[in-house]
Amino acid sequence: MTPRTEDELAAIIKGADAPLRIEGGGTRPIGGRAVGARLSTSAMRGIVLYEPGALTLVARAGTPLEEVEAALAQEGQRLAFEPMDHRGLLGSAGTPTIGGVVAANVSGPRRVQAGACRDFLLGVRLVDGAGRIVRNGGRVMKNVTGYDLVRLMAGSYGTLGVLTEVALKVLPAPQAAVTLRLSGLDDAQAVAALARALGSPFEVTGAAHLPGKATLLRIEGFAAAVAYRAERLAMLLAPFGAVTIEDDPATVAATWRDIRDVAAFHGRAGDIWRLSVRPTDAPGIMAGLSGVEALYDWGGGLVWLLAPEGSAQAIRAGVNARGGHATRLRGAGADAFHPLPAPVAALQAGLRQRFDPRGILNPGLMASM
């Protein structure tokens, strides 16, 4: 089913008597495929409004991400949360949509400085599981009118409602970007170096560590400012070793695209895990695991793991002991989503029951509790 309008979508959901599998471009089968008849938002597409002077863009949910990014690039702007492309990592095909980005709250390396997708989401329109058309938020940058269902929808994987339109805050694209590269650091040293950089006034917009390969930082902004900050940062990091600065635009872009999309794990066998933890806890969690390969982003706060099948218990034990959460993006089993404490799980189940009383939207997703 591929409705062309919000009203058609509402009619389909109202009339549904069996589970629906909600899909934007189908490129993010996170935690396995949901069951049910395919319901695609791909025909509800197009940029509805774009005001560069107000830093706002409104698009229908099925609009290809590529189309949004191209429109922004024409005005020298961009989505600052840097949504990753999951296709290489998950072996999926299709066209990523802006609605899918929001439904999965997809961010990239810049999340550590600029914020996540949910931080840039200004408003949503959706059809919930009862066929109710709901608006929340708007298209202005400051809005505290009523409860914030905007953030509730970001990252809810279509289980509360099907997004039909999203409004986003956009930001100017920088004039220049450079990568600072250190090598030879072990995981704990690398995380300490990244923490030093992130705790500086030099506005680091990327902080990653590829074990055994390199420890990388990114600076973006006006050309003169970038050169100045890179130099100051290199001095600050001198105790951690020699710093090389790369400023070729294509190389810098490729380096951070690879980190964003976890290119190092593309085409590799094994389960893919995504951990969100306190950055300085990350090396300790890794030290307690065997047979895994790790990549660190967000200064260590985001850990990508390539792990053998059946690692769920060990990974979650390590995370739970210190605080944080772990999601299995690729691999078999019903425990992809991080279990929640009972009272929080009860609130989540209550919300789901309210927004989707018949339990027909993406059943099985986010249900690992």
Contact criterion met (CB below 8 Å) for 49 and 57: yes
Cβ nearer to other proteins, comparing 15 with 147: 147
- Least Å from the CB of residue 366 to other proteins: 6
Separation of alpha carbons 62 and 56, rounded Å: 18
Cβ nearer to other proteins, comparing 43 with 152: 152
Cβ nearer to other proteins, comparing 141 with 254: 141
Beta-strand relationship, 20-23 and 37-40: parallel
Cβ nearer to other proteins, comparing 42 with 302: 302
- Least Å from the CB of residue 267 to other proteins: 27
Q: Which residues pair with 56 in a beta bridge?
A: 51, 169
Cβ nearer to other proteins, comparing 65 with 285: 285
- Least Å from the CB of residue 269 to other proteins: 26
Cβ nearer to other proteins, comparing 42 with 217: 217
- Least Å from the CB of residue 298 to other proteins: 7
- Counting Cβ atoms within 10 Å, is residue 2 exposed (0-12), middle (13-18) or buried (19+)? middle
Closest CA to 276 of 221, 316, 235, 224: 316
- Least Å from the CB of residue 95 to other proteins: 25
- Least Å from the CB of residue 172 to other proteins: 4
- Least Å from the CB of residue 81 to other proteins: 11
Cβ nearer to other proteins, comparing 64 with 221: 221
- Least Å from the CB of residue 144 to other proteins: 5
Cβ nearer to other proteins, comparing 40 with 319: 319
Give the sheet arrangement for strand 176-182, strand by strand.
Answer: 244-246, 176-182, 214-221, 204-210, 293-297, 302-307, 271-277, 324-330
Closest CA to 291 of 267, 314, 319, 275: 314
